[in-house]
A and B are shown apart, each in its own frame.
Chain A
């Protein structure tokens, strides 16, 4: 990993600015979700309690791996995991995100929100050196104990279900590069979300289920990367099956 001192400093500044300004933009975003989108998360208190317990019970950083159906999934995940007050007390539990630069960095206001909201932009399909630089930043943050949210499907699922054809192995590389890395598999879905969309349908009630795993592989190198990523995506598939077998009924 060859992150320069100034890049590490820039991440620290981004984190601190996000924390200081969180009461303003955090409240604004949650107000948008609750009053404009009229979204609700089912069993919100239980989810937050479970997340808090998970964070306390594990050693090592956590990568949140979720299915991906809308552009604001990471916002809904952070909203679900803890209250504004919890984030103000300990901003380190706020998860960093890896949005695609082309989707979120064209608009000035979105760019500011992404910066304050702990985003490390990724250039999907960009040059390997640029992608590697973003991955190095993420690995640095994980080693510092931050939480990262990753969507292993590599984009919103075009099928409306976990997309096994498009899922990427990058998460496997992250897990293998960071010692004691935990993976929190999350299945998130609005009750009226049939396919992918930019934002969830108005009035969506979100189901959220999470399971912590510690993927390991007997292989090394690229095979380990693929092995670990496969374990994560297979867990998400099982969680999706459980959702459609029970919760959707």
Chain B
């Protein structure tokens, strides 16, 4: 799976949780999940669990803590698949 494909799938997942209207073209690797997308830390755990299901990977607590931006999520997944 390429980085672009991972990125697109992550944006789809984020769409389920964000309380702001996400415009696909505005999301970049630097977009902060907590601040820019207004997603709280509990939902961030749900998102990381969705990463596990969608990409068939396992993420531990410390790895989950490292996810702050969309790019962090992409890099984490790329390192595990």
Interface residues of A (CB under 8 A from B): 125, 128, 132, 154, 166-170, 173, 221-223, 225-226, 229
Say whether chain A's binding surface is mostly helix, strand, loop, or mixed. helix
Min Cβ gap A130→B in Å is 11
B6-21, CB < 8 A from A: none
Of all chain A residues, which has the CB nearest B44? A169
Chain B 41-72 per-residue mask, 1 if CB under 8 angstroms from chain A, else 0? 11001101100100000111100111010000
Say whether chain B's binding surface is mostly helix, strand, loop, or mixed. helix
Q: List 15 A-B contacts (CB under 8 A).
A: A125-B41, A128-B65, A154-B41, A167-B42, A168-B40, A168-B41, A168-B42, A169-B41, A169-B45, A221-B61, A222-B48, A223-B49, A225-B61, A226-B45, A226-B46
Interface residues of B (CB under 8 A from A): 34-35, 40-42, 45-46, 48-49, 52, 58-61, 64-66, 68
Contacts of B42 in A (CB 8 A): 154, 166-169, 229
Min Cβ gap B33→A in Å is 12
Contacts of A125 in B (CB 8 A): 34-35, 41
Contacts of B64 in A (CB 8 A): 222
A128 with B34: in contact, given A168-B41, A169-B42 (CB under 8 Å)? no
A166 with B59: in contact, given A128-B68, A225-B45, A226-B49 (CB under 8 Å)? no
Min Cβ gap B22→A in Å is 18
Of all chain A residues, which has the CB nearest B52? A222
Q: Are B49 and A222 in contact (CB under 8 A)?
A: yes
Contacts of B65 in A (CB 8 A): 128, 132
Q: Are B68 and A222 in contact (CB under 8 A)?
A: no
Min Cβ gap B27→A in Å is 20
A154 with B40: in contact, given A221-B59, A222-B61 (CB under 8 Å)? yes
Of all chain B residues, which has the CB nearest A124? B41
Q: Are A222 and B59 in contact (CB under 8 A)?
A: yes
Min Cβ gap A171→B in Å is 10
